[in-house]
Structure 1
Amino acid sequence: MGGGEVPRGFPVPNPTISYWQFPPHPIANHRTTPSLPTTTTFDYIIIGSGVSGAAAAYKLLHRDPTLSILMLEARTAASAASGRNGGHCRAGRWLNFKEYADAFGEDEAIIMEHLEEQNVLDIANFVQEHDVQCDFQDVETSDTIYTEETWAELLERSVWHGQKARDHLGLPNVVGAVTYPAHTQNPYLLVCRMLELSLEKGLNMQTNTVALTVHPLPERHEGTAKWEVQTERGTVRGKQVVLATNAYTNVLHRGIADTGFLNPGRSQVTALRPENDLSGHPAQGKSFGIDRGAGDYLVIRAPGLRGAGDIVYGGGRAISPTREMGIMDDSTINPKIEKCLKQSGPEVFGRETWGEKSVEVRDWSGITCYTPDTLPLVGEVPSENGLWASVGMNGHGMAMAMAFRSAEALVTMMTTGKEPDWFPKAFRIERAWNKPKMDVPPEGASLGPVAVPR
């Protein structure tokens, strides 16, 4: 931002480079037009190029290719949490079903579970339909349990218990595990392909362009601009604005910030390569949610992929006194969490299996956004005609695939004025101005699978 210090709340320059972002995608620094189109009134201005913004643009243009859409991205394309997670695509929020049923009713909890399952299926179908080259793999994923107390709570839903779990997964210390079909992927390449498809349909994307303010224009005549977005490169106007800004939403909208409902935090991941070759190990071709009290998770890169055999291991936030909440600097990492993550891989697999040393591939962080009830805010901002948002993904926009389906709901609302029947009422944005029915601390929240609320 002009080369000076970045004000609190905006994306910082020069963030850590994630495992997935190397090498950078050809559209990383894309600007459709050399100058910011300040004389055009766009049908939609989308702020943010992560999975929420990319999916909204794709779905809008898929419905109506004649729409004019401008996308503003503060840094490079897909440079925030969507390009920084653990590489999961799995429906793992079933672990929270009881809490959601108690808070919102069983029918609503079932709707939320169905949304997530459909979400994963939608992404898989998108990848297949468009032949997206994003290392998309069908895998068996596992929620692995390390404490008898937690296992007792889940036992009626379990699949693998005791020694059978240890043998099936090759992890020596697990008490039990629940396994089910899922996927792994390079999330950065997936989102960049969504953006490419929209660019082919006429999207104007402006990277490295920080949106500074969003405010309504005083004159609101039908067919004319209703919203103005000021950037450091100029001011643009649109009929409608979509906030796909997740952790950076508060700085752009005072009303949302004043609710205190969106709480940013920093999450962290490491990529390691064991000293020993894990080819043939039972865990090969699987992904894991690791219930060891820190919201850990891991993915093993499959044979044939770049970095085959690498372990992408994330979590560790519970060892931070602040749980990394309120931190919005992803240009650095927490060294204590770094140490924890690098020790956890050998501990989970067992030193004999892992070997005495690790090859350290990459460490990175990302800024995620949490809500008191662990659910996103989706819809039109109350009393702000034409201002929409799909934010607060709780670290699970990609891993648990909430964002893609939430974007579908948002596009339906924007184009028809109605919520789809399958949209959970618990996701409605107006609840941020009301007292939530749940209040779950984000101790296990991360750039990966959800933890069971405590």
Structure 2
Amino acid sequence: MGGSTTTYPGFPVPNPTTSYWQLPPHRIANHRTTPNLPTTTTFDYIIIGSGISGAATAYKLLRRNPSTSILMLEARSAASGASGRNGGHCRAGWWTNFKKYAEAFGEEEALKFEALEEGNVRDIAAFVREHEVECDFRAVETADLAATEAVWEEAMEVVRFREDVRRRRPDAGDLSSERKFWVGEEARERFGIEALVGAITYPGHTQNPYRLVCRMLELSLDMGLNLQTNTLVTDVSPSTTPDGARQWNVRTERGTAQGRQVVLATNAYTNALHRSLGATGFLTPSRSQVTALRPGSNATGNPALRGSAGIDDFEAGGYFFAREPGLQGEGDIIWGGGRPVSKTREMGITDDSTVHAGIAEYLHHAPGHLFGEKAWGTEGEVLRDWTGIVCYTPDTFPLVGEAPGEEGLWMSVAMNGHGSK
């Protein structure tokens, strides 16, 4: 499916920015189960990518059948992609797309998507509890905040549409059962933000996403996973064994591995490996940016910092939360967004080794602008800026399943930034 990294763009760069979550590095950051890449074994599966998609795939395959042989190849350190550098939110925040999905694909599909998203949040929470994962997982009240009448009306239109579906279809459940609506002065008092027009709150979580994924990888290592970090895959191609069976050859800079099936958990880097898919232009990589900073001098106790929040733009807006008491970095503010500052909106970029200076400047001052000078006070210290690469599709849906016409080649890619907040 390809050639060399010197002739085709889009592979992971070797020197990404270090996220807030990756300090200190996890004990398996540079893990190699075997010193040499296994090139004489044909694995049941080769998984390319060690983010949450690759880690969850390995974990579930091994839980289902512990005798399954799996080789995981990661271009950089473990969980070094978007899974290790996002904003740390875990919430069912795409309820705002319900009307759009229902109009495009039908109410049944929209309800399935809603149930899948909410189910994923519950599954992550259950996984953390079952395995006592030390990833700072906290249940919080999360909020979608609107600072303009237009955005608030857009949100209310979705709510009205979803409630109409519930009245016509009692089996659809009630979107509002766990959501509270705050309007006007009530919202401003509740969140201590004078600019608010309205707010919607519902249960969510915050976490260290890097620690979560690394623990998932550790559990798979205990079940027999062979993890090879710092091993860039440059090509994936099919072949036929002497007995007529189909297998896949996965070429790396350390040699070529063989697998009966291959899973691309490569998200924004998929175009570089699957050139024919990349040629369609269906997958669009994009760089997202996050900052960690200390709160303003007057911000202590502000109610908006007790949970997590997305602000204003119901498609690609900003988001923030404060690290809870008792955690390392207690009180640190994690703030992401700012893509509109970039002339390109950071689209088409796969280089996470640098930050956009204009977005960094915006994020450093965003809390003060939102809360207001009086409520925020003197700005706190900027602790760290970092970037991560996400991937979008025109319909916002990921590509999950076996690649058409390519038996044994599977994908779980193009998460559209969803879940990486």
Name the TM-score, length of structure 1 as normaliser: 0.84
What is the CA–CA distance in structure 2 between the aligned matches of 1:284 and 1:150, rounded to whole Å? Answer: 22
What is the CA–CA distance in structure 1 between the aligned matches of 2:23 and 2:332, rounded to whole Å? Answer: 14
Q: Which of residues 359, 362, 366 in structure 2 aligns to 1:340?
A: 362
1:275 deviation in Å? Answer: 3.4
Q: State the partner residue of 2:226.
A: 204
- The gaps in structure 1 that reach 5 residues or longer are 400-447, 449-454
Tell me which amino acid in the other structure corresponds to 2:319.
Answer: Y
Residues 174-183 or 267-276, more deviating: 267-276
1:123 deviation in Å? Answer: 0.2
What is the CA–CA distance in structure 2 between the aligned matches of 1:30 and 1:383, rounded to whole Å? Answer: 34
1:255 deviation in Å? Answer: 2.1
What is the CA–CA distance in structure 2 between the aligned matches of 1:220 and 1:56, rounded to whole Å? Answer: 29
1:312 deviation in Å? Answer: 0.5
Residues 351-360 or 151-160, more deviating: 151-160
1:154 deviation in Å? Answer: 2.3
Tell whether the 8 Å contact from 2:55 to 2:213 is kept in structure 1 after alignment.
yes
1:279 deviation in Å? Answer: 3.9
What is the CA–CA distance in structure 2 between the aligned matches of 1:172 and 1:310, rounded to whole Å? Answer: 22
**1:304-383 residue pairs with structure 2 within 5 A?**
304-383=326-405
Q: State the partner residue of 1:131.
A: 132
What is the CA–CA distance in structure 2 between the aligned matches of 1:213 and 1:219, rounded to whole Å? Answer: 18
What is the CA–CA distance in structure 2 between the aligned matches of 1:115 and 1:107, rounded to whole Å? Answer: 12
Q: State the partner residue of 2:235.
A: 213
SS in 1 for 2:18: coil
Deviations 1:261-292 (A, max 9, x none): 11001110001102326443212321000115
Residues 381-390 or 146-155, more deviating: 146-155
Tell whether the 8 Å contact from 2:298 to 2:374 is kept in structure 1 after alignment.
no
Deviations 1:139-191 (A, max 9, x none): 00000001101212323637000111111112221110110000000000000
Question: Are 2:198 and 1:173 aligned?
Answer: no
Tell whether the 8 Å contact from 1:295 to 1:315 is kept in structure 2 after alignment.
yes
What is the CA–CA distance in structure 1 between the aligned matches of 2:298 and 2:212, rounded to whole Å? Answer: 28
What is the CA–CA distance in structure 1 between the aligned matches of 2:217 and 2:150, rounded to whole Å? Answer: 44
Deviations 1:284-326 (A, max 9, x none): 3210001158611111111111111111000000121111011
Residues 279-288 or 205-214, more deviating: 279-288
Q: State the partner residue of 2:97.
A: 96
CA distance change for structure 1 residues 77 and 277 in 2, over 3 Å: closer, same or farther? Answer: farther
What is the CA–CA distance in structure 2 between the aligned matches of 1:194 and 1:277, rounded to whole Å? Answer: 39
What is the CA–CA distance in structure 1 between the aligned matches of 2:25 and 2:41, rounded to whole Å? Answer: 30
Tell whether the 8 Å contact from 1:316 to 1:340 is kept in structure 2 after alignment.
yes
CA distance change for structure 1 residues 282 and 42 in 2, over 3 Å: closer, same or farther? Answer: same
Tell me which amino acid in the other structure corresponds to 1:93.
Answer: W
Q: State the partner residue of 1:434.
A: none
Q: Which of residues 235, 241, 244 in structure 1 aligns to 2:256?
A: 235
1:226 deviation in Å? Answer: 0.6
CA distance change for structure 1 residues 131 and 5 in 2, over 3 Å: closer, same or farther? Answer: same
Q: State the partner residue of 1:252.
A: 273
CA distance change for structure 1 residues 220 and 318 in 2, over 3 Å: closer, same or farther? Answer: farther
- The gaps in structure 2 that reach 5 residues or longer are 160-179
Q: State the partner residue of 1:120.
A: 121
What is the CA–CA distance in structure 2 between the aligned matches of 1:134 and 1:204, rounded to whole Å? Answer: 23
Tell whether the 8 Å contact from 2:38 to 2:257 is kept in structure 1 after alignment.
yes
Tell me which amino acid in the other structure corresponds to 2:411.
Answer: A
Q: State the partner residue of 1:433.
A: none
What is the CA–CA distance in structure 2 between the aligned matches of 1:221 and 1:246, rounded to whole Å? Answer: 34
Tell me which amino acid in the other structure corresponds to 2:143.
Answer: S
SS in 2 for 1:217: strand
Question: Are 2:11 and 1:18 aligned?
Answer: no
Q: State the partner residue of 1:431.
A: none
SS in 2 for 1:216: strand
> What's the RMSD between the two structures over aligned residues?
1.6
Q: State the partner residue of 2:285.
A: 264
1:7 deviation in Å? Answer: 5.2
What is the CA–CA distance in structure 2 between the aligned matches of 1:220 and 1:155, rounded to whole Å? Answer: 62
Q: How many residues align?
A: 395
What is the CA–CA distance in structure 2 between the aligned matches of 1:205 and 1:272, rounded to whole Å? Answer: 34
What is the CA–CA distance in structure 2 between the aligned matches of 1:243 and 1:292, rounded to whole Å? Answer: 31
What is the CA–CA distance in structure 1 between the aligned matches of 2:101 and 2:304, rounded to whole Å? Answer: 31
What is the CA–CA distance in structure 1 between the aligned matches of 2:302 and 2:321, rounded to whole Å? Answer: 14
1:248 deviation in Å? Answer: 0.5
Tell me which amino acid in the other structure corresponds to 2:68.
Answer: L
What is the CA–CA distance in structure 2 between the aligned matches of 1:215 and 1:74, rounded to whole Å? Answer: 18
Question: Are 2:308 and 1:291 aligned?
Answer: no
Name the TM-score, length of structure 2 as normaliser: 0.91
1:220 deviation in Å? Answer: 7.6
What is the CA–CA distance in structure 2 between the aligned matches of 1:215 and 1:308, rounded to whole Å? Answer: 48
What is the CA–CA distance in structure 2 between the aligned matches of 1:154 and 1:390, rounded to whole Å? Answer: 30
Structure 1's consecutive aligned runs of 4 or more residues displaced over 6 angstroms after TM superposition are none
Q: State the partner residue of 2:175.
A: none
Tell me which amino acid in the other structure corresponds to 2:95.
Answer: W
